Amino acid sequence: MPELPEVETVRRALASEVCGKRVTSVRGESVALRRPLEVEALAAILPGRRFLEPRRRGKFLLLDTAPTGSLLVHLGMSGVVQIVPAAAPLRAHTHVILELDDGRELRFVDPRRFGMAVWLEPGDEADDSSLGALGMEPLDPRLSQTLPPLIRNRRAPIKSLILDQHLIAGIGNIYAAEALWRAGIHPRRAGNRISVARLATLATTIQEVLTEAIAEGGTTLRDFATPDGNSGYFAVSLQVYGRQGEPCQRCGATIRGEAIGGRTTAWCPRCQR
């Protein structure tokens, strides 16, 4: 479900809703998520801690607390963080519930269980296997300089390369397709067959599409919602993602769709080369 703009939308909502709140208790059921969810361990650590301003790294959320430590959250494909009154009905696949001192609860819901919620001690963050391997933040102003050399010596399709979180952290299937359409680059084009100038253009379109999507609160296709239950509105701005068979908004050609690297990909066969 969530890519950088959706995760950033969640981060901002949590910044205003749970910043300063204290955890009073933890309940749930340990299940096999991407990393095992250990409710008992969280119940031993979190009560009494206060949430600080949350951070985002790529598609990861870091819910920092005082005393120092962080709950590392990834939403996977179907993860949702809810902030709801304690009396709110329980959604299916709610795995862990943090009761807060304002009468509300922070709930982690994840039907497909590709997400995670694990505790990080202050020292754990630097050498965490996921966080440590992440590439640059795509909104970094130096992206147009740093991206080309990472791509120019690779033969894989550019679409697969910009989805690789070790190179750039935060782009997913929707925004990869959108950024490539804006840049006029064919998603199957090999990285080493794209000029530095065109890669700099791609860096710019990546930043534009992510920034616009954040401003719209992300993209809601099926079930993405902010912690207070709202939808994102960027779906109406999508130019190619999910538009296979429809006309390109730029040139009128029919948008194509095929799997690249196992992920469905849409592009315009006329204006993407």
Partner DNA sequence: CCAGTATCCTGCAGGC
Partner DNA sequence: TGCCTGCAGGATACTG
Q: Which residues bind DNA (CB under 7 A)?
A: 1-3, 6, 32, 34, 58-59, 74, 76-78, 92-93, 111-114, 129-130, 133, 153-157, 160, 163, 165, 172-174, 191, 218-224, 232, 261-264
Active site residue 2: yes
- Tell me how far, at minimum, the Cβ of 45 lies from DNA, in Å: 22
Taking CA atoms, 243 is separated from 100, 217, 236, 249, in Å, by 42, 21, 11, 10
- Nearer Cβ to DNA (100/151): 151
Q: Measure the CA–CA gap between 188 and 175, rounded to whole angstroms.
A: 15
Active site residue 263: yes
- Tell me how far, at minimum, the Cβ of 218 lies from DNA, in Å: 6
Radius of gyration of the chain (CA): 20
Opening angle at CA 79, ends 14 and 40, nearest 5 = 80
Query: What HEC string does 181-194 produce?
Result: HHHCCCCCCEHHHC
- Nearer Cβ to DNA (69/76): 76
Which residues, 6+ apart, have CB-to-CB distance to 86 below 8 Å? 99, 103, 104, 105
Structure-block tokens of residue 73: 């959250």
Catalytic residue, from 12, 55, 189, 263: name it: 263
Active site residue 54: no
- Nearer Cβ to DNA (142/193): 193
Active site residue 59: yes
- Nearer Cβ to DNA (6/17): 6
Catalytic residue, from 11, 49, 59, 182: name it: 59
Catalytic residues, which ones? 2-3, 59, 263
